[in-house]
Amino acid sequence: MGKELIEGEEHYKIKVTFKPEGGGEDYEDIFIYWFEIESFKLNYLAYSYNEDDDIGLRFRQAFNERYVNSVRFVDYYNFKPKDDTNSLTDLAVAFEQDQLEQVSKIELTNVMVGSVYNE
């Protein structure tokens, strides 16, 4: 999908879709990921999902980056559009223009990384 500037940083914008075969129950959901160009870190993601009578949209912004045994973990602010005029592909623009409202925080706690051995 090209590149997009979010909060002054350029990101690669990637769209992910699924086929009905092997795509699971929610195969119609669509995801967009924004990877920072220099570090390739996933800083933002958005997705659409089917509701009973409509399509829901969410946008997530990473925060609280930390590393545990060299594995990157982040928490997310979870946003939804303030009105029905936004599309999935335009959610980063809506975020920049303060057209999203925070609905939750997704915080990982007690994160541990260790080895798993199968014997």
Express each pLDDT in 21-41 by its tens digit. 766 666 778 899 999 999 999
Q: What is the pTM for the complete model shown?
A: 0.86
Q: How far apart are CA 29 and CA 7, in angstroms?
A: 26
Residue 102 covered by a domain: yes
Look up the domain containing 35 and give its range. Answer: 3-106
**Residue 56: partners with Cβ closer than 8 Å, 6 or more residues away:** 48, 49, 50, 80
What's the pLDDT tens digit per position in 90-115? 999 999 999 999 999 999 999 999 87
In a domain, 90, yes or no: yes
Q: What share of the chain in percent tops pLDDT 70?
A: 94
Structurally, the chain folds into a number of domains equal to 1
Sheet holding 55-68, edge to edge: 3-6, 9-16, 30-36, 42-50, 55-68, 71-81, 100-106
Q: Is there a contact between 35 and 62 (Cβ–Cβ < 8 Å)?
A: no
User: What is residue 23's predicted lDDT score, i.e. its pLDDT?
Assistant: 61
Has residue 112 been placed in a domain?
A: no
Q: Where are the alpha helices (DSSP H) in the chain?
A: 91-96
* Residue 119 placed within a domain: no
Evaluate whether residue 111 is within a structural domain. no
